[in-house]
Structure 1
């Protein structure tokens, strides 16, 4: 990820909805060295911010609705959550939640893109988003998994003004020349019950060691550590409660 701070239109936060908050705290603390701080306000519902040092890097939260899946969610920074949610609807998306205020921290909405992938909009007030990117334990890349790649290009270009760098193998998203994510077309290798989704990748010092650590902590390796031709070394993992996420070698994005 060449984006190293929250910028309008770019990824600014990753948030886990989990069925076992304490187990998730232990797992990710062991894997990434995160220190969790739970918001003491009753209205926060146990929302827990993960830190590396003093920097907020991600969040863990209980499931707030029975229909909510155990999954990682990606937030994109916007100047106006209401206007962007309206634009998303006009471009073929569905607004699932909000827009609504989160204390004095900001305003957010949950959107389902035309291909069925959920993501969040974040209008920052007191909380700007993650304080670190691209270092071990911090967000380093975001990837859209979709069965409607052509429609996704049209939608996200219109909504956020993203640039699209596409080859026959992979499509990358960017802002002002800085790439921050990509897109994978879901084919027959993906079971039909797996929905379209956004997958966060967290930077690690050693992908193979991270995969081994996740396994020791009762996680699962879904994609073994792999070196992408002319790209990073990556792996896709699943935590003990079932949430999928990726890891990539931090050194591969230090250019």
Structure 2
């Protein structure tokens, strides 16, 4: 339930773009859909209600009933609920006990059709299983780590869920080093049977808080939704690298006004790049998110 990165560049891009064709025969399609994938948000218990109120007021949507449960294989206790919005879902946790390692480092939870098959596919693709499968109150979970140190949770429900599709699919924003981006991308494509839909070796540095520089950016799409891979050397001004998800909205200004009115702080004022108006916001409790809208 814990669910709750000029010739050489062209050669690399061609290799990555070709990878999905190979990947389609490597593993069964085990994803369910983007609306079943969540960002994991951990806040202090006193901030749970403030975060939920601000997040839902900003994006719309509803929360499931809050429960108190053990959602890790080691003893622990946390409040747990889903915040389901038209632009992305959050698994929200307010741990009442210390958080067992390595929980809190996993960025997302992906629903799969078969957990054992998903783990086998992840291992075959090159991932490590850092938390072996365990039972939670409504199913089974495991935590995997991709090359480059990207942790994700895989989960399966005893009772099959049914959620409405998103109005806009969020971006899973993954920061990876130049040393590991090829290994990460190949592994994730093989697992997800996804594809690289764009690759820019000289993306505008303003997107990572360095307006006088450039960096490499890849965008991936799969049954698990969208992923933006930001390839950097780690010289990132705050808050870049802290945001795990990018939410697409119709009107950025109106969305930011809603966020500020309910206790959120705009950490990076709006700027335009890659046909998007973008900003970075921190919600009550500390969760940092990128928000963007198609540029006008």
- When the two structures are superposed, what TM-score results if normalisation uses the length of structure 2? 0.65
Partner of residue 4, structure 1: none
CA distance, structure 1, for counterparts of residue 110 and residue 256 of structure 2: 27
In the TM superposition, residue 184 of structure 1 has moved relative to its aligned partner by 0.8
Give the gaps of 5 or more residues in structure 2. 1-29, 72-77, 204-216
Structure 1 distance, partners of 2:189, 2:51, is 34
- Which one of the candidate residues 103, 109, 112 is aligned to 2:137? 103
Q: Secondary structure at the match of 1:128?
A: coil
Q: Which residue matches 1:187?
A: 233
Q: Give the deviation of 1:41 after TM superposition.
A: 5.9
2:269 and 2:115 mapped to 1: Cα distance? Answer: 38
Q: 1:70 to 1:215 in 2, by over 3 A?
A: farther
RMSD: 3.7
* Structure 1 match to 2:41: 16
CA deviations 1:41-72 (Å, max 9, x no partner) are 6556421122459xx94331223616568688
What is the distance in 2 between the residues matched to 1:111 and 1:163?
Answer: 20
Over 3 Å counting, the alpha-carbon distance change for 1:73 and 1:131 in structure 2 is farther
| Counterparts of 1:193 and 1:69, CA distance in 2 | 22
For the pair 1:31 / 2:58, whether they are aligned, the reply is yes
Residues 206-225 of structure 1 aligned to structure 2 (within 5 Å) = 206-225=251-270
Contact in 2 for aligned 1:70/1:243 (Cα 8 Å): no
Task: State the Cα distance separating 1:194 from its structure 2 match.
Answer: 8.0
Aligned residues of 1:144 and 1:183 also touching (Cα < 8 A): yes
Paired residues, what number? Answer: 237
Q: 1:194/1:206 Cα in 2 relative to 1: closer, same or farther (>3 Å)? A: closer
User: Does residue 232 of the first structure (1) align with residue 266 of the second (2)?
Assistant: no
Q: CA deviation at 1:16?
A: 1.7
In the alignment, is residue 113 of structure 1 matched against residue 143 of structure 2?
Answer: no
Higher helix share: 2
Report the Cα distance in structure 1 between the residues aligned to 2:135 and 2:67, rounded to whole angstroms: 18
Choose from 194, 198, 205 the match for 1:162: 194
Query: 5+ unaligned residues in a row in structure 1: which ranges?
Result: 1-6
Q: 1:43 to 1:151 in 2, by over 3 A?
A: closer
- Give the drift of 1:156: 0.6
Tell me which residue corresponds to 2:117: 83
Question: Which residue in the other structure is 2:218 paired with?
Answer: 171
TM-score where L is the length of structure 1:
0.73
